[in-house]
Amino acid sequence: MDKKLCKTCGLAKHRFNKEIHLSCVPPFAIQKICGVKIPRAYRRDLYAFSDFYTGEEILGSYLGHNPYFPSYADWKKLGIEDKKLLIPPYK
Protein backbone atom coordinates (compact mmCIF):
# COMPACT_ATOMS: atom_id res chain seq x y z
CA MET A 1 0.00 0.00 0.00
CA ASP A 2 1.59 3.25 -1.13
CA LYS A 3 -0.73 5.86 0.39
CA LYS A 4 0.42 9.44 0.81
CA LEU A 5 0.10 10.51 4.42
CA CYS A 6 -0.15 13.89 6.11
CA LYS A 7 3.20 14.72 7.75
CA THR A 8 1.42 16.32 10.72
CA CYS A 9 -1.25 13.82 11.75
CA GLY A 10 -0.27 10.66 9.83
CA LEU A 11 -3.69 10.21 8.21
CA ALA A 12 -4.38 10.23 4.48
CA LYS A 13 -3.44 13.58 2.91
CA HIS A 14 -6.11 16.25 3.21
CA ARG A 15 -7.35 18.86 0.78
CA PHE A 16 -7.66 21.48 3.58
CA ASN A 17 -11.19 22.36 2.52
CA LYS A 18 -12.71 21.31 5.84
CA GLU A 19 -12.16 22.80 9.27
CA ILE A 20 -11.19 19.45 10.78
CA HIS A 21 -7.83 19.60 8.97
CA LEU A 22 -6.86 23.11 10.10
CA SER A 23 -4.56 21.78 12.83
CA CYS A 24 -2.28 20.20 10.20
CA VAL A 25 0.56 21.92 8.34
CA PRO A 26 -0.37 22.12 4.65
CA PRO A 27 2.26 21.68 1.94
CA PHE A 28 3.37 24.92 0.28
CA ALA A 29 1.48 24.03 -2.90
CA ILE A 30 -1.88 24.25 -1.09
CA GLN A 31 -3.35 27.68 -1.81
CA LYS A 32 -6.99 27.20 -0.86
CA ILE A 33 -7.81 26.72 2.81
CA CYS A 34 -11.47 26.36 3.85
CA GLY A 35 -12.57 27.98 0.61
CA VAL A 36 -10.25 31.01 0.94
CA LYS A 37 -7.68 31.32 -1.85
CA ILE A 38 -4.35 32.50 -0.46
CA PRO A 39 -2.31 34.26 -3.18
CA ARG A 40 0.92 32.45 -4.03
CA ALA A 41 3.21 35.45 -3.35
CA TYR A 42 1.65 36.01 0.11
CA ARG A 43 1.87 32.30 0.87
CA ARG A 44 5.53 32.34 -0.26
CA ASP A 45 6.42 35.13 2.15
CA LEU A 46 4.43 33.60 5.00
CA TYR A 47 6.08 30.22 4.32
CA ALA A 48 9.53 31.88 4.37
CA PHE A 49 8.61 33.52 7.69
CA SER A 50 7.39 30.24 9.20
CA ASP A 51 7.21 26.97 7.31
CA PHE A 52 5.48 25.17 10.19
CA TYR A 53 2.26 27.23 10.36
CA THR A 54 -0.91 25.15 10.48
CA GLY A 55 -3.86 25.78 8.18
CA GLU A 56 -5.52 27.72 11.00
CA GLU A 57 -2.45 29.96 11.48
CA ILE A 58 -2.14 30.58 7.73
CA LEU A 59 -5.79 31.53 7.46
CA GLY A 60 -5.56 33.64 10.64
CA SER A 61 -2.50 35.46 9.28
CA TYR A 62 -4.26 36.14 5.99
CA LEU A 63 -7.23 37.62 7.86
CA GLY A 64 -5.06 39.73 10.20
CA HIS A 65 -5.08 37.74 13.45
CA ASN A 66 -1.30 37.22 13.58
CA PRO A 67 0.58 39.98 15.47
CA TYR A 68 3.90 38.82 13.95
CA PHE A 69 2.99 38.89 10.26
CA PRO A 70 0.81 41.32 8.27
CA SER A 71 -2.64 40.43 7.00
CA TYR A 72 -2.96 40.05 3.25
CA ALA A 73 -4.51 43.53 3.00
CA ASP A 74 -1.63 45.14 4.96
CA TRP A 75 0.97 43.08 3.11
CA LYS A 76 -0.48 44.21 -0.21
CA LYS A 77 -0.37 47.88 0.94
CA LEU A 78 3.37 47.47 1.61
CA GLY A 79 3.75 47.02 -2.15
CA ILE A 80 5.99 43.98 -1.97
CA GLU A 81 3.67 41.65 -3.86
CA ASP A 82 5.62 41.92 -7.10
CA LYS A 83 9.07 42.11 -5.53
CA LYS A 84 11.20 39.12 -4.74
CA LEU A 85 11.46 39.81 -1.02
CA LEU A 86 10.83 36.72 1.02
CA ILE A 87 10.05 38.40 4.31
CA PRO A 88 8.33 41.79 4.29
CA PRO A 89 9.75 44.67 6.33
CA TYR A 90 6.90 44.58 8.84
CA LYS A 91 6.82 45.38 12.53
What number is the average pLDDT over the span 77-84? 70
Per-residue pLDDT tens digits for 34-62: 889 999 999 989 988 988 999 999 999 99
User: What percent of the chain is predicted at pLDDT more than 90?
Assistant: 33
**Minimum mean pLDDT among 8-12, 13-17, 82-86: which range?**
82-86
CA distance 86 to 18: 29
Q: Across the strands, what pairs with 33?
A: 36
- The domain locations on the chain are 1-91
DSSP H stretches of helix in 1-91: 40-49, 55-63, 72-77
> 3-state class of 23 per DSSP?
coil
Residue 1: what pLDDT? 45
Enter the pTM of the model.
Answer: 0.80
- Half-sphere exposure for 8 (CA within 13 Å, toward CB): 16
